[in-house]
Structure 1
Amino acid sequence: MKPALVGDIGGTNARFALWRDNQLHHVRVLATADYTSPEQAIAAYLDEQGIARGELTAVCLAVAGPVHGDEFRFTNSHWRLSRQAFCKTLQVERLQLINDFSAMALGMTRLQEGEFRVVCEGEADLSRPALVIGPGTGLGVGSLLSLGDQRWLALPGEGGHVDLPVGNAREAAIRQLIELEIGHVSAETVLSGGGLVRLYQAICALDGHAPAFKSPAEITDAALAGDAVALSVIEQFCRFLGRVAGNNVLTLGGRGGVYIVGGVIPRFAELFLRSGFAGSFADKGCMSGYFKGVPVWLVTAEFSGLLGAGVALQQA
């Protein structure tokens, strides 16, 4: 039986796999910077697997950004994609494009034991939407709703680009410093890999420290080693994430639970679990009680977006 191909393409990495028997096979991760287009990267993957053009039954790609029309422009990379040109180049009859966090949301339906950790205890109400949110190259936000009979609806959106919320005077001062530098301050401006560096610089300026670190990895490593400034940055990062996640839960009525995904948080999982995330998450004044019993999980599964692309193919 001919295979299908699934892909999960972010700003930094593109993950590809073959989809057979509702499972992933031959997963590969390629750097987007190494290829001029998704077609070139997929061609290299197919060559590696010994699959000729025209042998795929279908392709489903999870892509970072809003999906509509023939042409798709990736939000956080130089890649572009035309559906017609893609199908012609790779000799594919059916190309399905879905938002990357719609795929991530669908991937949550395939989580296994050991692939998540409990952040906030609670019981998911499966009649209500679940929130999927994750800092990575950008800040992805998606939602998931059970339709019954093992079918799911993933609702795409661009919730990472909402305004960054603040809950106290210090957070307002941090936001003001960032706004003076770049203008509009979205949640993604801070809650992403690059945003971690921007937050570090703002906190250094606010507290009178000379910046010593230049990359997310350096800041994270310093925090894990006990550096006080880096620890304060990680703590504030977690608190901002809690505020954004809480706002989304109120907007969605998201008592189906919250899945924290993406590449940033797992790098400092223990610090995150001890952070003020949970307090900021439920810090909503008269609506704080709404969050009682809403479960939150930190997802550590490696290829949820790819699995979600497979689930999308399966449901189609």
Structure 2
Amino acid sequence: MTALVGDIGGTNARFALWRDGQLESVRVLPTVEYPRPEDAIRAYLQGVGQSVEALQAVCLACAGPVSGDDFAFTNNHWRLSRTSFCQDLGLSDLLLINDFSAMALGMTRLREGELIEVCPGQSAAGRARLVIGPGTGLGVATLLPVGDGMWQAMPGEGGHVCLPIGTTREAALWARLHEKLGHVNAEAILSGGGLLELYRTSCALDGEAPRFTSPAEVTAAALTGDAYAEAVLEQFCVWLGRIAGDNVLTTGAQGGVYIAGGIVPRFVEFFARSGFSKSFRDKGNMSRYFDRVPVWVVTAEYPGLEGAGVALQQLLEGSLGGR
């Protein structure tokens, strides 16, 4: 069977062929260069020497809530109609899943060397696991064990919960963010654009002249010893800890926490010694709940694509999927 899987975020669309339970011919295409996902898929297939007619199944993991026929991507300009998509590409059906449902299922395919433990612990048997990851946005999903070594991914929109406040400094930052944004959700800070927003808001609060114009510049400065950039990146890690901890309490995810996405793996050593661990566990009389909850940073290159393949395979085999 020739199947295509895709992991589509705000900036990039990753595509691969899925054959015999394995990824083949992975390519990454910038979403801005194509008016529709169908156009990007045709370009991908042409690039890997496959015809559209050869496709027998497609699974796309997409940022945003998935339901109904029409889908609008959360962080890019693409829109998709299942009906039109299938007609355009000659398919009988399209499996659409939330991008972090796919990311969660991808955790079941991790290989040796693709996890770095940053908070030691012991996974509680039979308990849920949390998958959270800052990237273009903030993705959150829950991975549930369902017996016989199978897992079910539960989608959600946890990146859009309210940004929590734990210190007077955070309250002051939140107040400035609220003046600018209105509703302040977690993704407003815990994302690539959010890191830059946090830096600019911190500068405004402290009367500092901004020197950096991209999240990459802020991160690079922090990692080379710039004290102010370090403080901003530290606050980013602390806020990620607060949100991750809140989600563990909500879902009962004592099986562990996977930190995925494209941002944190770029500064794992900084992250491991940051205030993430303290803020993750700082939950008053429920702090002991976290005593044995492990946290890992995921360094796998394409876990979302792997998860899309798992979802497609489970559907075709009649097993539980993340649709």
TM-score of the alignment, normalized to the shorter chain, above 0.5:
yes
Q: What is residue 71 of structure 2 aligned with on the other side?
A: 72
Deviation for aligned residue 1:126: 3.4
Q: What is residue 254 of structure 2 aligned with on the other side?
A: 255
Deviation for aligned residue 1:209: 1.1
Q: What is residue 306 of structure 1 aligned with on the other side?
A: 305
Q: What is residue 32 of structure 1 aligned with on the other side?
A: 31
Report the residue type matching 2:43 in the other structure: A
Instruction: Report matched runs for 1:132-211 at 5 Å.
Output: 132-211=131-210
Aligned partner of residue 184 in structure 1, secondary structure: coil
Indicate the RMSD between aligned Cα atoms, in angstroms.
0.8
- Provide the C-alpha distance between the structure 1 equivalents of 2:125 and 2:54, rounded to a whole number of angstroms: 39
Unaligned runs of 5+ in 1: none
Q: What is residue 113 of structure 1 aligned with on the other side?
A: 112
- Cα shift readout 1:220-267 (whole Å, capped 9, x = no counterpart): 111111111100000000000000000000000110100000011112
- Provide the C-alpha distance between the structure 2 equivalents of 1:261 and 1:77, rounded to a whole number of angstroms: 20
Per mean C-alpha deviation after superposition, the further-off stretch among 118-127 and 103-112 is 118-127
Contact kept? 1:132, 1:258, Cα under 8 Å: yes
Q: What is residue 87 of structure 2 aligned with on the other side?
A: 88
Aligned partner of residue 170 in structure 2, secondary structure: helix
Q: What is residue 230 of structure 2 aligned with on the other side?
A: 231
Deviation for aligned residue 1:129: 0.8
Aligned partner of residue 290 in structure 1, secondary structure: helix
- Provide the C-alpha distance between the structure 2 equivalents of 1:103 and 1:3, rounded to a whole number of angstroms: 19
Report the residue type matching 2:235 in the other structure: Q
Instruction: Report matched runs for 1:13-52 at 5 Å.
Output: 13-52=12-51
- Provide the C-alpha distance between the structure 2 equivalents of 1:187 and 1:126, rounded to a whole number of angstroms: 29
Decide whether aligned partners of structure 1 residues 40 and 258 sit closer, same or farther in structure 2, where only a CA change above 3 A counts: same
Structure 1: 4+ residue segments shifted above 2 A: none
> Is 1:278 aligned with 2:277?
yes
Unaligned runs of 5+ in 2: 316-323
Q: What is residue 245 of structure 1 aligned with on the other side?
A: 244
Aligned residues with identical type, % of pairs: 65
Deviation for aligned residue 1:54: 2.4
Contact kept? 1:127, 1:256, Cα under 8 Å: yes
Q: What is residue 289 of structure 1 aligned with on the other side?
A: 288
Q: What is residue 4 of structure 1 aligned with on the other side?
A: 3
Deviation for aligned residue 1:58: 0.4
Contact kept? 1:126, 1:146, Cα under 8 Å: no
Contact kept? 1:14, 1:29, Cα under 8 Å: yes
- Provide the C-alpha distance between the structure 2 equivalents of 1:308 and 1:146, rounded to a whole number of angstroms: 15
- Provide the C-alpha distance between the structure 1 equivalents of 2:282 and 2:48, rounded to a whole number of angstroms: 50
The total of aligned residue pairs comes to 315
Report the residue type matching 2:98 in the other structure: N
- Provide the C-alpha distance between the structure 2 equivalents of 1:48 and 1:264, rounded to a whole number of angstroms: 28
Report the residue type matching 1:35 in the other structure: Y
Contact kept? 1:128, 1:253, Cα under 8 Å: yes
Report the residue type matching 1:313 in the other structure: L
- Provide the C-alpha distance between the structure 1 equivalents of 2:19 and 2:296, rounded to a whole number of angstroms: 29
Deviation for aligned residue 1:270: 1.3
Aligned partner of residue 114 in structure 1, secondary structure: coil
Deviation for aligned residue 1:94: 2.4
Per mean C-alpha deviation after superposition, the further-off stretch among 177-186 and 10-19 is 177-186
> What TM-score, normalized to structure 1?
0.98
Decide whether aligned partners of structure 1 residues 310 and 126 sit closer, same or farther in structure 2, where only a CA change above 3 A counts: farther
Deviation for aligned residue 1:53: 2.3
